[in-house]
A and B are shown apart, each in its own frame.
Chain A
């Protein structure tokens, strides 16, 4: 309906002809500047208010001992005692760190590589690829809480499917030497489809002429993938790595559903929850655990961001 002359932006044919200003000292018209300022400040305030402020307060709380009763002046400041207790007398902490690392390594080496492999296969437009795609992706739409419940039906020692079919007596969720692996299998079931879809989408975006050129040059399919496609997919590969890292650090839902993150299924995220959610209200102690989790996450985030920025500079 609107006349093109009334449009305020630089879409008039006459204006596009002019070269857009490139220099640093380019001045934006007032309206644009307003838009930019709004678009920067609102998200900035949200991030500050919802992420950085709580994070900072968490750090502050982690130096105190407080059960949530009474005002803030009832917080007893104990310095580094929470941190000291965590690493010395809290039996769940070191197993949790270890389990998070196992989680990371497992997710990376099995479901991630397998998901990528599936993506490459499905990318070949074989018959029924849509069906496979749907089948593998299906678990991703289920919440991890639900997945924990579904797998409970398989894993239950007395009433579960696996022990019933094989006549075994394995205590899948209860034996601390086994339950982590049982849970990891359940996670993998979901994670594989997730990675597959992301990778498949990336593969679809690869310029077909690259493959043609490689084929013309006589490269085999395997060679084409490793020497041509894989390097081109670098941004996607980065994403996949980051997803794996984040998924393994924030792993929580599944173990929480299984046994609230105890008895062989300790994970940092679950320990934080145990101490501050629910009936226990060790806000200081729980915050200290959360801060440790945040520090570990920030290592990975820093590495990732450095990579992204370096890439942008290059681009």
Chain B
């Protein structure tokens, strides 16, 4: 039996396919034009009559964790419920998948956003503030239990606060306690200790550093910490803001130091995900791994056999008191319907009560920003994280939060990967970064 000819020749199907691919891409390119795109994110309406807060009022709360996505969602849900109970305000939760939320944030904020939404401290928060997309919360600050460094992180360049932090996690060098014990290794105090430790590891057939950069962002953590250790926190932050030269001696020094450290890292990082690298550390094939505390997630264990130290000093004049510790929290959308309710809720979200409500409801707690929050549910790793971050003089947010997102994603990720492929061409890489930075920061 032969197929009917018409179905054998999907001519129309072909053109449709081609057209839809192009129009989808183009449609996305133009999604900023079409406010309609944002409505996909925004929760369905509800009128804003009646009181702003308390009985009978509604505050819309957009969160970047989809329903049922794990402890992160459970915590936010519990926090929303606790606020509803405490204030009597009805909280309309709008739960969106993490990546979708992050990638649609521009259209979301310029469409019909929720009153309060989850976000991060850093460059993009400041960018939203400059563009009038989020509400000035300086009248809600200071908030009990949030110290100056958190206030600093919540402050935009205009000197006002636009953000309320709730939790954070540090980037540090993680290792297996049992592996270190067995080999008689100890966390290094100085640069000499550090080099000696790595040489000893190599001598024993252990790769000192696990390393994976298939996804592009994990290696940013290495750049950040080297830059902070070699050039200091202030230089790092102004470099991120586009105010320093990427082809200057400082950045070249970072890449050159990195080049010398690369032989101590796992080979072929560009084909390895961070989860695979974490597994290599977990199995003891590698001694250490520079990553965020989320390294525990990839190991599928409670982290009792893990410990960490902050990246050691490289230049005695600079010290080692700065680190990456991305802060999560909340902003109030300027286009939100109920500004007063949003502000009131944002302030409460910074309280110890909010953190406790979240932590007591989920299997895995976060490290609360509020110093009054209970630490009874914390693991040892988290208790130590809180100490280390508390002791740090300066906290950066991680490259993709500290600089322009366009620059981080389309320039720095490919450039760092290019460097990792070809570590000897530092001049070429830095020159290319600078050219593109000029074009973007223009």
Within 8 Å of chain B (Cβ to Cβ): is A118? no
Q: Which of A178-215 contact B (CB under 8 A)?
A: 179, 198, 201-202, 204-205
- Residues on B with C-beta less than 8 A from A32 are none
Q: Which of A241-298 contact B (CB under 8 A)?
A: 242-243, 246, 250, 252, 259-260, 262-263, 269, 272-283, 285-287, 290, 293-294, 297
Q: What is the CB-to-nearest-CB distance from A223 to chain B, in angstroms, rounded to a whole number? A: 23
Indicate if the CB atoms of A259 and B215 lie closer than 8 Å.
yes
Indicate if the CB atoms of A201 and B269 lie closer than 8 Å.
no
- Residues on A with C-beta less than 8 A from B436 are 85, 89-90
Given contacts A173-B214, A176-B421, contact A54 B30 (CB under 8 A): yes
Indicate if the CB atoms of B23 and A54 lie closer than 8 Å.
yes
Binary A-proximity of B206-219 (CB < 8 A = 1, otherwise 0)? 00000000111000
Indicate if the CB atoms of A262 and B8 lie closer than 8 Å.
no
Query: Which one, B8, B30, B408, B421, contacts A205 given CB within 8 A?
Result: B8
Residue among B110, B271, B406, B417 having the largest count of chain A Cβ atoms under 10 Å: B271
Within 8 Å of chain A (Cβ to Cβ): is B103? yes
Within 8 Å of chain A (Cβ to Cβ): is B28? yes
State in angstroms the CA–CA spacing of A218 and B296 once bound together.
73
Given contacts A250-B18, A250-B21, contact A179 B26 (CB under 8 A): no
Indicate if the CB atoms of B3 and A205 lie closer than 8 Å.
yes
Within 8 Å of chain B (Cβ to Cβ): is A68? yes
Indicate if the CB atoms of B268 and A235 lie closer than 8 Å.
no
Within 8 Å of chain B (Cβ to Cβ): is A224? no
Q: Which of B401-442 contact A (CB under 8 A)?
A: 405-406, 408-410, 413-415, 417-418, 421, 432, 435-436, 439-440, 442
Binary A-proximity of B270-288 (CB < 8 A = 1, otherwise 0)? 1110001001100000000
Q: What is the CB-to-nearest-CB distance from A23 to chain B, in angstroms, rounded to a whole number? A: 29
Within 8 Å of chain B (Cβ to Cβ): is A157? yes
Which of B9-17, B243-251, B306-314 interfaces with chain A?
B9-17
Given contacts A70-B131, A179-B271, contact A279 B409 (CB under 8 A): yes
Given contacts A50-B23, A57-B30, A297-B18, contact A201 B8 (CB under 8 A): yes
Q: What is the CB-to-nearest-CB distance from B192 to chain A, in angstroms, rounded to a whole number? A: 32
- Residues on B with C-beta less than 8 A from A273 are 25, 28
- Residues on B with C-beta less than 8 A from A174 are 214, 268-272
Given contacts A259-B214, A279-B405, A286-B29, contact A171 B268 (CB under 8 A): yes
Indicate if the CB atoms of A91 and B418 lie closer than 8 Å.
yes
Q: Which of B1-53 contact A (CB under 8 A)?
A: 1-3, 5, 7-11, 14, 17-19, 21-23, 25-33
Return the chain A residue nearest B27 by Cβ: A54
Indicate if the CB atoms of B271 and A294 lie closer than 8 Å.
no
State in angstroms the CA–CA spacing of A67 and B269 once bound together.
32
Return the chain B residue nearest A282 by Cβ: B406
Given contacts A57-B30, A61-B29, contact A281 B272 (CB under 8 A): no
Question: How extensive is the interface on chain B, given as a class?
Answer: 35 or more
Q: What is the CB-to-nearest-CB distance from B150 to chain A, in angstroms, rounded to a whole number? A: 24
State in angstroms the CA–CA spacing of A285 and B442 once bound together.
13
Within 8 Å of chain B (Cβ to Cβ): is A66? yes
State in angstroms the CA–CA spacing of A242 and B15 once bound together.
10
Within 8 Å of chain A (Cβ to Cβ): is B400? yes
Indicate if the CB atoms of A89 and B410 lie closer than 8 Å.
no
Binary B-proximity of A85-99 (CB < 8 A = 1, otherwise 0)? 100011110000000
Binary B-proximity of A38-54 (CB < 8 A = 1, otherwise 0)? 00000000010011001
- Residues on B with C-beta less than 8 A from A159 are 276, 279
Given contacts A246-B14, A246-B18, contact A262 B417 (CB under 8 A): yes
Indicate if the CB atoms of B268 and A157 lie closer than 8 Å.
yes
Q: Which of B252-300 contact A (CB under 8 A)?
A: 268-272, 276, 279-280
Indicate if the CB atoms of A239 and B11 lie closer than 8 Å.
yes
Given contacts A174-B268, A246-B14, A259-B216, contact A91 B27 (CB under 8 A): no
Indicate if the CB atoms of A239 and B410 lie closer than 8 Å.
no
Indicate if the CB atoms of A281 and B23 lie closer than 8 Å.
no
Q: What is the CB-to-nearest-CB distance from A277 to chain B, in angstroms, rounded to a whole number? A: 5
Q: What is the CB-to-nearest-CB distance from B122 to chain A, in angstroms, rounded to a whole number? A: 12
Given contacts A58-B30, A174-B269, contact A69 B131 (CB under 8 A): yes
Return the chain A residue nearest B415 by Cβ: A91
Query: Which one, A66, A69, A155, A156, contacts B127 given CB within 8 A?
Result: A69
State in angstroms the CA–CA spacing of A252 and B10 once bound together.
22
- Residues on B with C-beta less than 8 A from A269 are 21, 25
Within 8 Å of chain B (Cβ to Cβ): is A55? yes
- Residues on B with C-beta less than 8 A from A239 are 9-11, 14
- Residues on A with C-beta less than 8 A from B64 are none
Within 8 Å of chain A (Cβ to Cβ): is B107? yes
- Residues on A with C-beta less than 8 A from B439 are 81, 85, 89
Binary B-proximity of A59-76 (CB < 8 A = 1, otherwise 0)? 001000111111010000
State in angstroms the CA–CA spacing of A274 and B421 once bound together.
20
Indicate if the CB atoms of A69 and B133 lie closer than 8 Å.
yes
- Residues on B with C-beta less than 8 A from A293 are 22, 25
Within 8 Å of chain A (Cβ to Cβ): is B377? no
Indicate if the CB atoms of B25 and A243 lie closer than 8 Å.
no
Within 8 Å of chain B (Cβ to Cβ): is A164? no
Q: What is the CB-to-nearest-CB distance from A131 to chain B, in angstroms, rounded to a whole number? A: 17
Q: What is the CB-to-nearest-CB distance from A133 to chain B, in angstroms, rounded to a whole number? A: 12
Indicate if the CB atoms of B7 and A201 lie closer than 8 Å.
yes
Query: Which one, B8, B14, B269, B410, contacts A275 given CB within 8 A?
Result: B410
Indicate if the CB atoms of A280 and B26 lie closer than 8 Å.
no
- Residues on A with C-beta less than 8 A from B271 are 155-157, 171-175, 179
Query: Which one, B8, B400, B415, contacts A279 given CB within 8 A?
Result: B400
Within 8 Å of chain A (Cβ to Cβ): is B102? yes
Within 8 Å of chain B (Cβ to Cβ): is A140? no
Indicate if the CB atoms of B106 and A68 lie closer than 8 Å.
yes
- Residues on A with C-beta less than 8 A from B280 are 158
Return the chain A residue nearest B417 by Cβ: A263
Indicate if the CB atoms of B8 and A204 lie closer than 8 Å.
yes
Indicate if the CB atoms of B29 and A262 lie closer than 8 Å.
no
Known: A81-B439, A260-B215. 6 other contacts (CB 8 A): A51-B19, A156-B271, A205-B3, A250-B22, A278-B409, A280-B409
Q: List 16 A-B contacts (CB under 8 A).
A: A51-B19, A55-B26, A57-B30, A58-B30, A158-B276, A171-B268, A171-B270, A174-B272, A176-B421, A239-B14, A250-B18, A272-B25, A273-B28, A281-B405, A285-B410, A290-B29
Q: Closest 6 CB pairs between A and B?
A: A174-B271, A201-B8, A204-B2, A68-B32, A174-B270, A171-B268
